[in-house]
């Protein structure tokens, strides 16, 4: 059950920061995961931070049981000692039924809470999971004098979580969005695939038989089309963001780009990268189209204060399209700070 409207935006603890009402506009094309327990990877984080929009320390899957505490300590160390600039800092904590999650959240908020933007919760199954994390974060924020609320990102990895998407999306003003976790979700659903994202050679449609034709063409389809579309619908309807998650075949860059592009076309904001070679793929796929940015700039130039009406290429522009144009241009300008080539293509020759 949702909180009553007049209570929805009230802090859940005395001294906790006021909940936000709109997500900040910032580039989130690529969420790059790193294992914080590996010292040589931690050493490269300051340089990697300049290349990505979001850095996410991974404390959950792929971290050995005997390295859980080292990963937590390594994440705190690297966040404390790194200037991330305008790169967002996320962390994926361990699952809510694990023996590590309480210390994950408590120690990270206590030590680097003011530098943490988003906490990702694995295997979210219903609003009750969000309510628990929401209250726990509020108490910790109040205790440690955190200045802005830490947002919650839900990782969708179970059939029950997919069934409860709407309730999860509306569970808290902290909600940032969703990411698709294809491997665990496939297992939860009983899907007959061992692939982490992408298509499957046996999932497709067979062309109708044609007279005189000995072989009927088979067209491979996207296993995740419905799931991504449903995730996007619920996210956008609630003012949240949807992300494609991991693509497991690191060497198959063409298939990775195809999956990312499918997600982009369906409305996703960005995707995860698990290795350095996936970073440029996500950035390329999820950057605003150059022509769209150039047209949006013309709208802002024609209507500097957003009032009135302008005709551009025979199309009427008003305050609504001005707002859309401003979102695109603001996002492009932020991306241009990290990407000199796109800055030139977007026409941002002035100082950024």
Is the domain of 167 the same as that of 262? yes
The domain spanning residue 148 has which CATH number? 3.20.20.60
Domain that holds residue 320: 291-346
Nearest-Å Rg of the Cα atoms of the chain is 22
Binding residues: 92, 157, 184
The reply to whether 351 falls in a domain is: no
Q: What is the pLDDT of residue 172?
A: 96
Name residues whose C-beta falls within 8 Å of residue 127's C-beta, 6 or more positions apart in sequence: 2, 164, 167, 168, 170, 171
Residues in the chain: 352
Distance CA 18, CA 174 (A): 10
Q: Is the pLDDT of residue 304 over 90?
A: no
Is the domain of 23 the same as that of 168? yes
- Burial (CB count <10 Å: 0-12, 13-18, 19+), residue 254: exposed
Quote the strand ranges of the chain, DSSP E.
Answer: 30-34, 54-58, 88-92, 118-121, 151-156, 175-180, 204-206, 218-220, 241-244, 270-273, 310-312, 315-317
Identify which has the larger pLDDT, 93 or 224.
Answer: 93
Is the domain of 119 the same as that of 182? yes
The reply to whether 321 falls in a domain is: yes
Is the domain of 253 the same as that of 306? no
- Burial (CB count <10 Å: 0-12, 13-18, 19+), residue 232: buried
Is the domain of 20 the same as that of 146? yes
DSSP 322-340: HHHHHHHHHHHHHHHHH-H
The reply to whether 352 falls in a domain is: no
Backbone φ and ψ for 310, nearest 5 degrees, come out as -135, 145
Binding residues for Mg(2+): 157, 184
pLDDT averaged over the chain?
A: 93
Is the domain of 278 the same as that of 316? no
**Could you say which of 262, 286, 310 is where a domain stops?**
286
Q: Is the pLDDT of residue 173 over 80?
A: yes
Distance CA 124, CA 156 (A): 6
Mean pLDDT of 179-197: 90
Is the domain of 218 the same as that of 130? yes
Binding residues for substrate: 92, 157
In this structure, the number of other CB atoms found within 10 A of the CB of residue 135 comes to 14
Q: How many domains does the chain have?
A: 2
User: Contact, 120 vs 155, CB < 8 A?
Assistant: yes
CA atoms in the 13 A half-sphere facing the CB of 257:
10
pTM of the model: 0.89
Identify which has the larger pLDDT, 123 or 2.
Answer: 123
pLDDT tens, position by position, 136-165: 999 999 999 999 999 999 999 999 999 999
Backbone φ and ψ for 322, nearest 5 degrees, come out as -60, -40
pLDDT tens, position by position, 55-69: 999 999 989 999 999
Is the domain of 139 the same as that of 100? yes
């Amino acid at each position: 059950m949702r909180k009553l409207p007049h209570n929805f935006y009230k802090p859940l603890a005395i001294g906790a920061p006021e909940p936000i009402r709109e997500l900040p506009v910032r580039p989130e094309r690529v969420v790059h995961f790193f294992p914080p327990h590996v010292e040589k990877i931690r050493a490269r984080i300051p340089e990697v931070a300049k290349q990505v929009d979001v850095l996410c320390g991974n404390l959950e899957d792929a971290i050995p049981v005997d390295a859980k505490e080292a990963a937590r300590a390594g994440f705190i160390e690297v966040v404390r000692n790194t200037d991330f600039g305008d790169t967002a800092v996320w962390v994926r904590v361990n699952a809510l039924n694990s023996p590590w999650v309480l210390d994950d959240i408590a120690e990270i908020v206590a030590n680097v809470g003011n530098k943490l933007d988003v906490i990702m919760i694995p295997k979210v199954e219903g609003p009750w999971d969000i309510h628990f994390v929401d209250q726990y974060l509020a108490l910790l924020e109040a205790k440690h004098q955190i200045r802005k609320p830490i947002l919650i990102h839900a990782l969708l990895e179970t059939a029950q979580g997919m069934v409860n998407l709407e309730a999860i999306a509306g569970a808290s003003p902290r909600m940032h969005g969703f990411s698709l976790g294809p491997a665990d979700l496939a297992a939860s659903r009983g899907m007959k695939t061992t692939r982490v994202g992408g298509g499957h050679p046996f999932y497709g449609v067979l062309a109708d038989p044609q007279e005189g034709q000995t072989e009927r063409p088979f067209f491979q389809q996207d296993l995740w089309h419905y799931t991504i579309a449903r995730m996007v619908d619920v996210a956008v309807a609630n003012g949240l963001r949807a992300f494609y998650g991991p693509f497991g075949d690191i060497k198959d860059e063409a298939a990775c780009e195809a999956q990312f592009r499918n997600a982009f076309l369906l409305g996703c904001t960005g995707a995860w990268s698990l290795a350095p070679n996936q970073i440029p793929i996500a950035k390329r796929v999820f950057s605003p189209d150059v022509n769209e940015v150039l047209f949006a700039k013309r709208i802002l130039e024609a209507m500097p204060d957003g009032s009135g009406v302008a005709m551009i290429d025979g199309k009427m522009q008003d305050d609504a399209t001005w707002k859309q144009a401003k979102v695109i241009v603001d996002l492009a300008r932020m991306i241009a700070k990290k990407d000199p080539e796109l800055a030139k293509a977007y026409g941002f020759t002035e100082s950024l």
